[in-house]
Amino acid sequence: MKKNIGTLALICWLASLPHLSLASAPERLLNEPVDISGDFHDFANFYYLADHVAEFDPATHSGLVVYQRSRLTAGHSFNHDVAVIGPAKPNEFPAGQYAADPKLPFAIDFVSPRTLRIRMASGPQYHKPQPELMLAGPVPQDNSWKYEKVTGGYRYSSAFGSVTVQKNPFHIEIRDASGKLLTQTDHATDNASSFTPIMPFSYVRRAADYSRSFDAAFTLSPGEKIFGCGESFTGLDKRGQKLVLWTDDACGVESRLMYKPIPFFLSSRGYGMFIHTSTPITLDIGRSFSGVNSMMIGDDALDLFVFLGTPKEILNEYTDLTGKSPLPPLWSFGLWMSRCTYNSEKQVVDIAAKLRANQIPCDVLHLDTGWFETDWECDYEFSPTRFPTPEKMLADLKTDGFHVSCWQLPYFVPKNKLFPELVEKNLVVRDGKGNLPTEDAVLDFSNPQTVDWYQGKLAGLLKMGVSAIKVDFGEAAPINGIYADGRDGFYEHNLYPLRYNKAVADITEKITGDNLIWARSAWAGSQRYPLHWGGDAESTDDGMAGELRGGLSFGLSGFSFWSHDIGGFTANSVQSMDKNLFARWLAFGMLTSHSRCHGEAPKEPWNYGTDFMNEFRAMDDLKYRLMPYVYAQAKDCSARGLPMLRALFIEYPNDPGSWLVDDEYLFGSSLLVAPLMHENATGRAVYLPPGTWIDYQTGKAYAGGWRQIEAGPLPVVLLVRDGSVVPEIKLAQSTKDMDWSKLELHVFAKDTATATGSVFLPGGRKLESLTLTKENGVFKLANDPFAGKVRWTIKPE
């Protein structure tokens, strides 16, 4: 959230420049992402290459690996130097007191028939275990993997694949159930045929401070694609990219910076990986060398989970481990109306009245930075001059079907009246001397007393009638800070969003019963605290495209629910907000799990004329009529760790074309959405996965493959998978007023006599499946799971 976009342009540009490692950066900007890859190219450092297995116990699937001490030297030929890695002698004194080529422990554990865990250490681990935050609970142990001795190593197999430890040279091989090699650790001997300098599986010991970090180097196969890594706005397929996983104010959606990096990815080869650490991570995914995925982590120990299966199976396994997104309340799926910012009670009440008078369905009004006495100066109190009766306002709005969300942040400027209290009570992050590491006081969520103080402030708002808290910022926990748990920002920075998300979600659920937040930053495990939105998108076509790539990547990282600022954030007036872009983005936004109009420009549709308001209303009405479909799909996603905004290959993993598309998506399992990405576009080329697809707006049927399709009355291409039942409901102005006892079942079936769908009723406990069969040319309900409690109308009749 930025108040003056132009004044921050230079800062954001500088932050987007290539990042430097801590060791090699003479000058750094505050909160600049920490890229540790430079430490793996430093001639002063020692590198320890995983060479061979010295010991192994098949019963405990653990042993010792010998690491060959190595160093970089310069190889020269014909006016050209390259870095060459080779054996190195010890430099320690007294001689013999330190291992030249250390033997260090590793272990493989089995979590489920599809999940295994690889742990390795670069030295003794004396630290006390920290409370686990990223995982949803204790890691299970699975006994279904069967051991067998194989030539040169040890193999463990389940029904879905195998892991083999090869003794010399050291390899950990991951294979599928058919025996196909999916990936393996990279050994120095694997690179003998290449002149390109390649760092194999290893760890570095830095000359500057003797700290150590792993480079978990695994092989990539020809044609392999990599997806996930959080809300990444770059190309959807991460193969060939370098990603720095460091939570950062990305200042938009068109750079490689990320508000929500997640140390998880999945491969088109049928595996996924989760790097269980909070330290900075640099992923070189075939960028420096196409056949190697170098996962350089700041931690001195490696904790890597590997998952086997299809994308759906991998996401289910990953979210079993780190937690699934609970189902948000029904009202949250309605329209959120906002701008930066409403600044008075009268203004909010007037906008609510206009929404109802103009029949614009809406469930949430969001109050951004202007509900305090001084804008942006968060003190958790409604301005007495501009919001004289907040309790009455909240109660009246709720009676009319409006929930209210309120903005806040965890940073306190020196002039904030709470600043002295926070410092005096030691509720903030300190530096090594005990001072503040930044100009602002930053709440320290690793301190239970801070969490109690903070939740007390939020509880007052929630008890007053506020329904949701906007969890803004959170990406700038000081790296040089010392936190209450005794760790510094190297370990706490990336955890900060998770702690922040959890603190707000826990108190919101305690007071209101709803596990719901509206957050910008995230880390692994944050999906347990929905929901998140896509940050400060540029109000441009490229901004919309970048936002969609970010949402798809986020969904491929274990998050079921997501939103974005419809129309982008940066347009700062009605005049600068392009109406055509707004309309096209609106269609995309309404066909996202959660829909919010927000930005510096007013987003209320009447500001853009009657014709635009009518177009706005039509798209808004569609979302509200589709609410039974949306709610049922949300319930299914919550149960299985699937995203509502879904890359095509999740449903079509065996279709090569579905792995190539990053500008369209499936909204749930049955609707395919292709937003119009270009100015004044009325149609576009659309890739359709195998099968028949039926245009929701026109009824025209299309076969799979590339098709040129016109949008229809609404500015979006919206198609339905053949054989689908899409449940709808009579239009209401808020979800509060919907009548769920009367539902319409819209059947889309051209090449089939059977159609299926699902329904989840508010307050229900189970997602119910529906099957309709054609009899004498008419579709009839073959089963009624609600035993007459719902009156069905089937269309076409």
- Catalytic residue numbers, as ranges: 472, 475, 536
User: What is the Cβ-side half-sphere exposure of residue 586, based on CA atoms within 13 angstroms?
Assistant: 28
Angle at 318 between CA 58 and CA 331, to 5 degrees: 160
Distance (Å, rounded) from C-alpha 73 to C-alpha 559?
Answer: 44
* Bridge partners for 757 per DSSP: 770
Structural tokens at position 624: 């509200």
- Residue 435 — φ and ψ, nearest 5°? -85, -175
CA 731 to centroid of chain Cα atoms: 32
Structural tokens at position 8: 């921050």
Distance (Å, rounded) from C-alpha 534 to C-alpha 664?
Answer: 17
Residue 73, amino acid: T
User: What is the Cβ-side half-sphere exposure of residue 191, based on CA atoms within 13 angstroms?
Assistant: 23
Structural tokens at position 287: 């960028």
Closest CA relative to residue 530, chosen from 320, 324, 369: 324
DSSP string, 7-35: GGHHHHHHHTSPP--TTT-SS--TT----
Q: In angstroms, what CA-CA distances link 708 with 545, 607, 646, 652, 674?
A: 19, 33, 21, 21, 11
Other beta carbons within 10 angstroms of residue 524's beta carbon come to 30
Pairing of strands 562-563, 532-533: parallel
Structural tokens at position 425: 């009570």
Q: Show the DSSP H helices in 250-344 as ranges.
A: 311-322
Peptide bond into 602 cis (omega under 30): no
Distance (Å, rounded) from C-alpha 185 to C-alpha 179?
Answer: 17
Closest CA relative to residue 395, chosen from 466, 446, 333: 466
Helix H or strand E segment including 548? helix 541-555
CB of 581 closer than 8 Å to CB of 569? no
CB of 487 closer than 8 Å to CB of 299? no
Q: Position of tokens 């990320």? A: 258
Closest CA relative to residue 232, chosen from 257, 268, 252: 257
